[in-house]
Structure 1
Amino acid sequence: MTRPLSTSNKIPRLAISAGEPAGIGPDIVLAAAQRDWPAELVVIADQDMLAARAELLGLTVNLRPYDAAAIQTSRGHSLSIIHEPLAVPAQPALADSANAGSVLAALKRATQGCMSGEFDAMVTAPVNKAVIADSGVPFSGHTEYLAELTASDQVVMLLAAKELRVALATTHIPLSQVPESINPPLLLNVLRVMDADLKSKFGIVDPQISVLGLNPHAGEGGHLGMEDIEVIIPALKQAKSEGIQVSGPWPADTAFNPRLSPQTDAYLAMYHDQGLPVLKFASFGAAVNITLGLPIIRTSVDHGTAFDLAGTGKADPGSFFAAVESAMELIKTFAKAE
């Protein structure tokens, strides 16, 4: 799918969702306004909520109405805003499921704008899955929701911190469901998406993917579980036959060692808490969540809503800044690939 850039002068326009209004999403978005960006940051959120949070935090910000016809770089404590009203006023740390509809509407508006070429990428602040689920809307995460909005068959969650990239075969499911959820077709599709997007969005000509085993010691030859032999290896053989540069399955406890890491452009972990603790230990607060397999660019933070920090001025915006910077880099690479 060809996505026209929103501007002819190469100034990117990013759609920003402020996430859960009772969490730190508004705080870190407002922190971004304290910096100058070579892009237009268009925040989709309740304007009154952002103004009130800025006052609480003692931050100066100019929330100017979004003008689709005129690009305005985000400089001088300014943000463009598309007003998405909340159902009830938001208070820091006091989540209300009545506002879930507004949170989802912001994500939908950002996605539609990216699909049409109005925006070049979207950057999302954290949402709270439980709050949205309590509103009666089934919701397992940004990744799955955006896949549905874009009618994408296979999406992949990848977290990146500089040269370390970790993708997930399964995302937000109980650990007990992981063995039954992975199968050769799933893993093959994930590897295809990784290979394609590492080329098109990251500009890696011949990506090298290292796959982690499911069981301790990658199954120890079948003595510690058969999934590595019966599920993962067949997927790797098929991927190799298609020209995908893949290796493994590697024992997860030794895969991130200095010998293998320099030869790896991205790791594929079987489940959420298998690979992400390593990445977050190495770079918590500076990692970026990137959704592969979408026809658009979407980046996000590597953390949750942190209700206890909302409105206190103690929230670290580092991951959000990294997500914005990553989105701008991906825009350049993706445009070249097209």
Structure 2
Amino acid sequence: MKNKPIIGISMGDASGISPEIIIKYFLYGKKGNFNIVVFGASNVFAFYKKLFNLNFKINAIDSFDSIDEKALNVFNCTSSNPSEVSIGRIDEQSGKLAFESIDYAIDMAIHNKINAYVSGPINKKAMNLAGFNYPGHTEILAQKTNTTKYVMMLGYRKFRISLVTTHVSLRQVSDFITKERVFNTILISHKDLIEKFGIKKPKILVCSLNPHNSENGMFGSQEELEIIPAVEEAKKIGIDVVGSIAADTAFLPQNRKIYDCFVSMYHDQGLSVLKALYFDKSVNITLGLPIIRTSPDHGSAFDIAGKFIASYQSMQEAVLQAYKMNKCKQKNH
């Protein structure tokens, strides 16, 4: 058991579906040659166990030496361990617990106590109410790991999309599309596709920003001034990349068979396609970090919290993806 990799999962927002999907994955999901440890508050899981009338063992631990492979191992790492949870609403206590579990889990990954980190869904407003003013997981990870250049990738198995811009308004997107940003997204994606996905010679397709690839400048200049120069620079250093390609044809089935990663200019350009195809299975992956981090590709879903109807498929894929990435990383090192 001691030689098995440990996949750490932060508890997420206790008022949402995160504890439920963690429990469901533990009870019903696909496992591998690894152990999972949840960072959070064991009483939260006892609360949901009782609510859902389930029969399983919760092993509250404060040391990795106490892992029980037949139990849900919860590493108590929060400042409180409440026995009651406010279900389905924004709650300051849940926001505090969520941040504390994230903070501790990242520390464990940085210090190699766990082999990979999977983050349970949070509610950003709840976390902000508790005094932790971060836009999301990625910014916490970047700060704690001292990472300035990172990329949000989302995908399901061999269909992967890296984003040049993430959570910004459409009005701001064009200002953020610079040669440097596009080039760094290509570069970071290429590096991690090799090191963490085991793809020896990644093939990357870069989308256009404007309709019809700007139609020779009729619909904008970003392709000519920023995107294509970034692609050409990436080619010069040996990266197998094409672009820019009109986004309305970039994701056709034949392209999804050829390319290992698509670089999308903005959030909905790529993720609308991904979620239309694999809504409950896709995974969020942060590239460019010194640690492995994945998460389910959905939020805390307060509207269905406490009803035992949430799908655990995306959590399962996030755990299995983290395990595969760790295997590739260990092999390359």
1:148 match = 143
Is 1:78–2:111 an aligned residue pair? no
After superposition, residues 54-69 of structure 1 pair within 5 angstroms as 54-66=49-61, 68-69=63-64
1:285 to 255, 280, 283: 280
**How far apart are residue 136 of structure 1 and its match?**
4.1
**How far apart are residue 71 of structure 1 and its match?**
6.8
Kindly report the root-mean-square deviation, in angstroms, between the aligned alpha carbons of the 2 structures.
1.8
2:181 match = 186
Do 1:42 and 1:66's aligned partners in 2 also have CA atoms closer than 8 Å?
A: no
Q: Distance in 1 between matches of 2:145 and 2:91?
A: 27
Evaluate the alpha carbon distance shift between residue 73 and residue 235 of structure 1 in structure 2; reply closer, same or farther with a 3 A threshold.
Answer: farther
After superposition, residues 76-225 of structure 1 pair within 5 angstroms as 77-86=71-80, 89-225=84-220
**How far apart are residue 181 of structure 1 and its match?**
1.2
Structure 1 residues 163-182: Cα deviation after superposition (integer angstroms, max 9, x where no partner): 10011111111111111112
Do 1:141 and 1:172's aligned partners in 2 also have CA atoms closer than 8 Å?
A: no
Structure 1 residues 174-200: Cα deviation after superposition (integer angstroms, max 9, x where no partner): 111111112111111111110100000
1:4 match = none
**How far apart are residue 67 of structure 1 and its match?**
5.4
Q: Distance in 1 between matches of 2:177 and 2:139?
A: 17
Is 1:295–2:290 an aligned residue pair? yes
Percent identity between the two aligned chains: 35
Structure 1 residues 60-94: Cα deviation after superposition (integer angstroms, max 9, x where no partner): 2322133535273643x532432424587422102
TM-score normalized with structure 2 length: 0.94
Task: Tell me the SS of whatever aligns to 1:214.
Answer: coil
Q: Distance in 2 between matches of 1:65 and 1:134?
A: 28
Q: In structure 1, what residue type is equivalent to 2:313?
A: G
Do 1:47 and 1:84's aligned partners in 2 also have CA atoms closer than 8 Å?
A: no
TM-score normalized with structure 1 length: 0.92
Do 1:87 and 1:98's aligned partners in 2 also have CA atoms closer than 8 Å?
A: no
Do 1:28 and 1:315's aligned partners in 2 also have CA atoms closer than 8 Å?
A: yes
Structure 1 residues 104-141: Cα deviation after superposition (integer angstroms, max 9, x where no partner): 12111111111111000011111112222344432212
1:19 match = 12
Structure 1 residues 226-277: Cα deviation after superposition (integer angstroms, max 9, x where no partner): 1111110111111111111111111111101133222200001011101011
Task: Tell me the SS of whatever aligns to 2:223.
Answer: helix
**How far apart are residue 42 of structure 1 and its match?**
1.1
Task: Tell me the SS of whatever aligns to 2:104.
Answer: helix
1:239 match = 234
Task: Tell me the SS of whatever aligns to 2:27.
Answer: coil
Q: Distance in 1 between matches of 2:165 and 2:81?
A: 33
Q: In structure 1, what residue type is equivalent to 2:89?
A: L
Q: Which moved more, 1:99-108 or 1:152-161?
A: 99-108
Q: Which moved more, 1:215-224 or 1:80-89?
A: 80-89
Is 1:276–2:276 an aligned residue pair? no
Q: Distance in 2 between matches of 1:102 and 1:260?
A: 43
List runs of 5+ in structure 2 lacking aligned partners.
Answer: none
Q: Distance in 1 between matches of 2:69 and 2:86?
A: 26
Task: Tell me the SS of whatever aligns to 1:300.
Answer: strand
Do 1:39 and 1:73's aligned partners in 2 also have CA atoms closer than 8 Å?
A: no
Task: Tell me the SS of whatever aligns to 2:327.
Answer: helix
Do 1:63 and 1:79's aligned partners in 2 also have CA atoms closer than 8 Å?
A: yes
Evaluate the alpha carbon distance shift between residue 69 and residue 27 of structure 1 in structure 2; reply closer, same or farther with a 3 A threshold.
Answer: closer
Q: In structure 1, what residue type is equivalent to 2:277?
A: A
Task: Tell me the SS of whatever aligns to 1:14.
Answer: strand
Do 1:44 and 1:106's aligned partners in 2 also have CA atoms closer than 8 Å?
A: yes
Q: Distance in 2 between matches of 1:80 and 1:74?
A: 12
Give the total of aligned pairs. Answer: 330
